[in-house]
Amino acid sequence: MPARILNGIPIRDQIYAELKQEIAALSGAGIRPGLAAVLVGENPASQIYVRSKIAACELLGLGSWMHTPPASITTDELLALVAQLNARDEVDGILVQLPLPPHVDTKRVLEAVDPAKDVDGFHPVNLGRLVSGRAGLVACTPAGCIEILRRSAIPIEGANAVVVGRSDIVGKPMALLLMHANATVTICHSKTRDLPQTVRRADIVIAAIGRAAMIEPDWVRPGAAVIDVGINRITDAAEAQRIFAKFPAKLAQFHEKSSVLVGDVHPAVAEVAGAMTPVPGGVGPLTIAMLMSNTVKAARLRRAQSASNNMKGNMPGAAAAQP
């Protein structure tokens, strides 16, 4: 029996409907959450990603600002731009689109973002909060994977989950979120011994290793839930033929466009798995939805912290206690 397809688009639409209610409530309190995007240079893929994020802001009624410095920008100049955005109160979220040019110190730039505005969830402070199970801003793609599982009624608690990939952006935070949801988690990577056998034990497989169609059908336990985070563009005819030999529609798409998208999971896994995300249209829509969710969350948390600070400042004796 073919796998149940876990389409990300209706799940994204559910989240957007919930966010619109929350945004309306914030608007009633005079708050309009806002996202500032920084797009360095003219990388076509990055331009598409950022435009889609700004379009999502407009759809939901969020404020949005787009900064497009040239590829020649220095690390110090980019740090100065981030500092300006940190200081702007109407900006609740700051998105620095990756990759940055090779001469820019990416880590310095990402760590310069105010953790309270780090809607990508990349800052070490937010990663530390995730490790300790404290409230914070969580990386968007792993958070989206959790939403797919929960909203598709796939049990996480007690499940054996295998995460294939150990990146700071997906693999590590994904493993932490699954552990916090009471799964038993194994993290695999390119050096894992007998990777297929390890994956085969999983009730839930998260594929995020960045290799086209790497997870084969005989790697997957029948009935397992498979979340495919990968998105790889195939441009080689022999590779397309190898992967899509039994999928004529995909081969026809390749011959028409000279390229085709595939995840880290071989499409034939759908014949074995109990549930599986498609590529495209699975995890991708949820990544943007969780970015929007983080922007709204950042607005709420920042205003709550500001109100708390004001209350402390107005308490009797507060002024005398200050140095």
The residue annotated as part of the active site, out of 53, 117, 250, 297, is 53
Q: Is 97 a catalytic residue?
A: yes
The residue annotated as part of the active site, out of 92, 97, 203, 250, is 97
Q: Is 120 a catalytic residue?
A: yes
Q: From the CA atom positions of the chain, what is the Rg in Å?
A: 21
Closest CA to 65 of 25, 93, 46: 93
Asked whether the beta carbons of 291 and 56 are under 8 A apart, the reply is yes
The one-letter amino acid code at 192 reads T
Name residues whose C-beta falls within 8 Å of residue 232's C-beta, 6 or more positions apart in sequence.
Answer: 210, 211, 212, 213, 261, 262, 263, 264
Q: Please give the Cα distance from 21 to 1 (Å, whole number).
A: 39
Q: Please give the Cα distance from 37 to 69 (Å, whole number).
A: 11
Asked whether the beta carbons of 189 and 208 are under 8 A apart, the reply is no
The residue annotated as part of the active site, out of 120, 203, 228, 264, is 120
Q: Which run of H or E residues covers position 66?
A: strand 63-67
Strand partners, 36: 65, 94
Residues recognised as catalytic: 53, 97, 120
